Amino acid sequence: MGQKITKVKPFEGFCSETAGALTLFGATHFGIPVSTTHTITGAIIGVGARKGVTAVKWGVTSKIFWAWILTIPVSACIGSLMYFFFNHMFNLLTSGN
């Protein structure tokens, strides 16, 4: 994942992984639900931005950002549609029609 966002050398990868782990430990301590993927992605962006804003491929980063924003509501809509669909199918099967 890191190479698509910014060029990552081994030491920078180590720093990203450590930052991600520390973020997860902190979030867990405070009971905040977080995604490990989001955490490591943010850490990779941070390591890349340290080299300058031009070192980060912001086109890729913006796509990731929008995916994060849209994932929960889109999944909620699909889950709702699946519930109504399967509930209707179950009612058809159990009503004898």
Question: What are the E-state strand segments in 1-97?
Answer: none
At 34, give phi and psi (nearest 5°).
-135, 160
pTM comes to 0.76
pLDDT in tens, 2-18: 688 999 999 999 999 99
pLDDT in tens, 50-94: 999 999 999 999 999 999 899 999 999 999 999 999 999 999 999
- Take residue 14 and report the two structure tokens written for it: 């180590």
What is the pLDDT, as a whole number, of residue 3?
80
